[in-house]
A and B are shown apart, each in its own frame.
Chain A
Amino acid sequence: MIEVNGLTVRFAGVTPIDDMSVTFPGGTCGLIGPNGAGKTTFFNVLSGFVKPAAGTITAFGENLLKMADYRRARWGLRRTFQTEMAIEKLSIFDNVALIHEHSGAKRSDRNADVLGAIEFVGLTASPQDKVGGLGARERRLVEVARAVVGKPRVVLLDEPAAGLPDEETGHLSSVIQRIPSEVGALVILVDHDMSLVSACCQTTAVVDFGRLVASGPTAEVLHDEHVMRAYLGTEDAE
């Protein structure tokens, strides 16, 4: 469980997150909102790239904001980026192994864990292939494999389906749905693809202008009047 209380982030003159309080109970949680609502900034606060002006974040009983940024991976925090950041010069195996060796997991478990993660996401390319030669779908899967290797506690997925065609989103969706039960991590999924969010997430939080608009079971939230207005309002206006 992750509890966020009164979180505020200020950049010069802009307040991308404004006194946000939200709880992610467990399983797969959606985090949706229009562009610029503060979703990626929130992930950056969790990762330690952005220092908040106020507020607390408690993850599984621990104060996340007190941890040095690079130590959060060892604690069990993983993330993917909007523009995928798998390392082109390394092989698939090395890309995943890199996370494993900085996660504090046992060296003797490395080969089995890394190959297990590659298998978990359903990558069929040889683990020795360089990531530079892979297509968009496979690179996404490498990123997800990096996020699930070595007993993570929290997995942040930032628009994992961006730019993928529908049938490939389907496979990704099935992978994401298996993370809480098979990997044992809490997943926070940011995406604009509502069918992906409804398929994966038991609960969903909606943010707009850095504030929480609604949260609760995904089906209820998506039909909430405020959400319709905040999120789909532009469509009504057209």
Chain B
Amino acid sequence: MSTVTSYLDRTSTYFDRKTIIRALVAAALFLVALIVLPEISGADWITTFTSVAIYSVVALGFGILYGRVGMISLGQVALLTIGCWIGARLAYATSLPFPLLLLVTGACTCAIGVLVGLPALRLSGLYLALITLMFAGATTIFLSVTDFPNGGGGWSGVSVAGQLTTSTPPVRRPSWAVADVAFYRYTVIVAAILFLLALVHVAAKPGRAWATIRESEPAALAAGVNITLYKLWAFALASFVTGVAGCLLAAQVGVPRAITFQTQDSLTLAATALIGGIFSLWGAVIAGIFNQLLPFLFSAQWNVSPNYLLIIFGAGLLQVLLTAPGGLAEQFPKDMANLGRLAVRRFRSLASGQGGEGS
């Protein structure tokens, strides 16, 4: 009785201490990424950080589908490709302001993503993974055969020469974010908004409905959850954020080519998303770092072939599946807490040991 009443008091203030601390930490990290990082890092790092932000959003889409609803989709990078393609096309063909370009690209990708999600109403697990992986393969093949828009004008976007030339105009960037650093900041802000959008969903009615579906579909039905609606809703949200990320990527790369996107990227994304942690939004940020920052460190900084990363991701995935299903996002704070306790115990025993000698 008393717990219930005190809970009512607490919920009437709406935010409890834990939530406030989490929000403050997130805000602080956001400000560091927005203001401090560009000040202390060089030009090539900035491009990589932009990619980290973009792929975090893609991992976020994967996390919504698999971590929240339990639908494994290996077609997320294909949706990123499609977003990139639509973004590039619209940028060449129209003069829409950039934020509107992002929204329209997101909406178009969302429509395609919902279509891809239709099989998920009947299939689950391995079968859904296979179908979506085939979708990713088909997208790669389609865009290679038709030659990814190479900067020609109009809707088709294929230049007459059929070849990239030095005069190929890049996909435009927002007018106040043309330089790399400014565009990095723009990307971080858009990514933060997309994460907030996901948070609003996860913490509210859709998030609870998704959790029920993930646990058991009969229980969800008995609870009155419209399973068709909420599954497609998850696909719509995941595809929207991925489409927006694709448009950002088009503007970042300037002249996107089909070769940039490989079917296997979908698998790497799934692996890094699982390592990062699919039950937490932070996991998506970690996944973005693993997916983009590590290859950069390997190839550009340490002169090691980034292909070795596949082995590392494989081992990481095995470790996560066996011992830490919540991924780094859940495991790392626990490990740090344990380490802290261990350090305190060690320190105390040392101190008491010395005290004993002294007396």
A contact residues vs B (CB 8 Å cutoff): 47-49, 69-74, 78-79, 81, 85, 87-90, 93-94, 97-99, 101-103, 111-112, 115, 118-119, 124-128, 146
**1/0 per residue B203-230: CB within 8 Å of A?**
0010011011011101101111111000
Query: In the assembly, what is the distance between CA of A90 and CA of B208, in Å?
Result: 7
The winner among B205, B209, B218 for most chain A CB atoms within 10 A is B218
The winner among B211, B222, B223 for most chain A CB atoms within 10 A is B222
Besides A78-B222, A85-B216, 10 more A-B contacts (Cβ < 8 Å) are: A49-B218, A73-B223, A85-B219, A90-B208, A90-B211, A94-B208, A115-B8, A119-B1, A119-B4, A146-B223
Question: Is B15 close to A, CB under 8 A?
Answer: no
User: In B3-50, which residues have CB < 8 Å from any A CB?
Assistant: 3-4, 7-8, 11, 16
- By secondary structure, the B interface counts as helix
Query: In the assembly, what is the distance between CA of A94 and CA of B204, in Å?
Result: 9
Report B337 CB to chain A, min CB distance, Å: 17
Residues on A with beta carbons closer than 8 Å to the beta carbon of B7? 93, 115, 126-128
Q: Which residue of A lies closest to B208 (CB)?
A: A98
Question: Is B279 close to A, CB under 8 A?
Answer: yes
Q: Are A102 and B209 neighbours in the complex by a CB distance under 8 Å?
A: yes
Closest 9 CB pairs of A and B: A73-B224, A102-B224, A85-B219, A98-B208, A87-B215, A127-B7, A70-B226, A115-B4, A85-B216
Number of interface residues of B (CB under 8 A): 25
Given contacts A73-B224, A87-B215, contact A101 B8 (CB under 8 A): no
User: In B218-261, which residues have CB < 8 Å from any A CB?
Assistant: 218-219, 221-227
Q: Which of B11, B221, B223 is the one whose CB lies under 8 Å from A49?
A: B221
Given contacts A69-B221, A97-B208, A102-B224, contact A127 B215 (CB under 8 A): no
Given contacts A81-B218, A85-B219, A94-B208, contact A103 B4 (CB under 8 A): no
Query: In the assembly, what is the distance between CA of A107 and CA of B117, in Å?
Result: 30
Q: Are A85 and B215 neighbours in the complex by a CB distance under 8 Å?
A: yes
